[in-house]
Amino acid sequence: MVQIIQRIKKKKKVSSACKRLPLLFSIINKIIKKSKGIILNDAKISSLWCKKCEIIPHCGVTNNRLRIMIPILIPNDATFELYVGGEKKLMDDSSIGKPLVFDDSIEHTVKYENGGGESGGKNTVVLPRLVLLMNMKHPDML
């Protein structure tokens, strides 16, 4: 993903991943263009494929950046909670496409529970939680 972002910023041809995920890369391209250099050269898609899980509390190593989290997929029956500095941010399917910005140097964690999924006979398919994560320069550090 990092190389793809760098290619978009340099206006070079992008790999076949863009052809497979055109809407996602269109959104990334628009964000980068509008950011005027504020968005850093790193982005990734984070997925959770579990019925119930928690990402251990963690924080970034520096306070010179802010994290942008843009939900791409949150199943209807899922509970997705982001805690930043102890403050709870509840996210659901109405959060899709809406960016949440927080200071990555502040301890944060995710709690996720997928209530059901799609029934496929004897098997139940657990749908993932997908978010786009990008970093931007902290405005207080410019």
- Please report, in angstroms and rounded to a whole number, the separation of the first and last CA atoms in the chain: 25
Residue 91 lies in a domain: yes
Residue 133 lies in a domain: yes
Residue 77 lies in a domain: yes
Q: What is the CATH number of the domain that holds 116?
A: 2.60.120.330
Contact 102, 66 (CB under 8 A): yes
φ/ψ bin of 129: left (φ > 0), alpha (ψ from -120 to 50), beta (otherwise) = beta
Whole-number Å distance between alpha carbons of 108 and 57: 5
Residue 131 lies in a domain: yes
Residue 26 lies in a domain: no
Number of domains in the chain: 1
Residue 24 lies in a domain: no
Residue 78 lies in a domain: yes
Residue 113 lies in a domain: yes
Whole-number Å distance between alpha carbons of 137 and 128: 29
For residue range 89-140, list pLDDT tens digits in order.
999 889 998 999 999 999 999 999 987 655 544 556 678 888 989 888 888 8
Q: What pLDDT is recorded for position 2?
A: 43
Predicted TM-score (pTM) of the model is: 0.76
Domain assignment of residue 94, given as a range: 40-141
> On the CB side of 112, how many CA atoms lie within 13 Å of its CA?
24
Say which amino acid occupies 113. Answer: E
Contact 102, 136 (CB under 8 A): no
